Amino acid sequence: MMAHASGSVGESGKPRARVPDSVLRSVGFLSFFDRFATPPMLVVLAERTEMSLGQAVQLVAAYALLYAVGQPVWGFFSDRFGRMAVLRTALVGVLVGALASTLFSAYLPLLLARAFTGLMAGALYPTLLTILGDTRTGIERARGLSDLQIYSSLGTTIATLAAGTLAALLDWRLVFALPALGCLVLLIWLRGVAGDGAAHRGGANFRLAFSGSALGVYALAALEGAVLMGILTYFVPALQNAGIGVTLAGVLAAGYGIGVILGARLMRRLVRHFSRTRLMALGGLVLVVAYLTSSLSQLPAALTATALLVGASNAILHSSMQGWATDVAPQARATSVSLFAFSLFLGGSLFTFFTAGLADERRYGTIFSLGLFVSIVLVAAACWGHAVWKRKHP
């Protein structure tokens, strides 16, 4: 549903004052589709290009690394030069990077193209969060965050299910070309939206993004990244270890996306009746139940239930954390949101790195038990921290 933007081009001849909800959702979908489209076609890339499978995997690693490292830089630029300037620049960059990705099959140029695309794509989702924080308040903002959860999850799910098939049956270049086409459409769509200028130029504003409260939120984001992103790496291998074929394992693991969608729809109702602190507690309880289930049993049904519940928790707990991140330093909102996103990706990467040895030994029960422990710490710290912060910032 498109939001009522004040002063549309067609009616008044003036640029719209804010980005329509439909554009925000579409950018969210595109950013997550591009981010998750490469892993399902790694084998195809290795078979049909000059790369080995290990080199194909490095394409994903390079994309993810530049995606994370660029977050604070984009946040600074967004606070300095304006949200729309960064959003348009990122869309142009993804378009160029995606097109370049279709032109090469050799390892080094394709690696550079994917790394550049990751750097540019990393600006998209944090900028969407910042725009929501700037232009929406209260329940409207919470609903906007839930909608972003739904559409980004759709992008993830469709990429996971379709990218490998498109690459195998048609051409792997098509998977890279689709985001380029999407960026072109979105840039045309954004022609009627006014730029927001650079509202925050004072150096003191940026220091607020490093206040004690903000640093606490970033630390919680790192814990959240471990249990909402890092551990996702092991769902498909754990299902395969339980005797499920790789195709069916991918379908069952996609229950995570279904959980996000269902949880986001529920979140739209919950925000009317519960405070953010209580929503964190509710989403955290779902997360604890999820990992308790898989720490006790690694049967396919238990693992599928975990994927579904983690997705639902993501929609409730993570969207509440995102809302807090948009409020913790409003005078440097883009910087704080980008640092939040950086911390999230860093936490996920560190969890995956330090548990890789357990995966080699197929000790998935231990991995999910660690997820349970981190979840308990996260929920307790987040609820207590937000309650204290809220008393100081009513």
Give the residue extent of every domain in the chain: 16-199, 208-394
| Encoded amino acid at 313, one letter | S
Q: Kindly indicate whether the domain formed by 208-394 is annotated with CATH number 1.20.1050.10.
A: no
- How confident is the prediction along the chain (394 residues), in pLDDT tens digits per residue? 333 333 334 444 444 456 777 788 888 899 889 887 887 776 778 778 877 766 776 787 788 778 888 877 887 788 778 888 888 999 999 999 999 999 988 888 988 999 999 999 988 888 887 787 777 766 777 777 777 777 887 887 788 777 777 887 888 899 999 999 999 999 998 887 765 544 444 444 667 778 888 899 999 999 998 898 777 767 777 887 788 775 676 677 778 878 888 887 788 788 778 888 999 999 999 999 999 999 998 898 999 999 899 989 988 898 888 888 878 887 777 778 878 888 887 787 778 767 777 776 778 899 899 999 999 999 999 999 999 998 887 6
Pick the CATH number of 16-199 from 1.20.1250.20, 1.20.140.10, 3.40.190.10, 3.40.50.720: 1.20.1250.20
- In our burial notation (b when 16+ CB lie closer than 10 A, e otherwise), range 129-163 reads bbbbbbbbeeeebbbbbbbbbbbbbbbbbbbbebb
SS3 170: coil
Residues 6+ apart with CB under 8 A from 277: 383, 386, 387, 390
CA atoms within 13 A on the CB side of 176: 26
Residue 77: closest CA among 184, 182, 196: 196
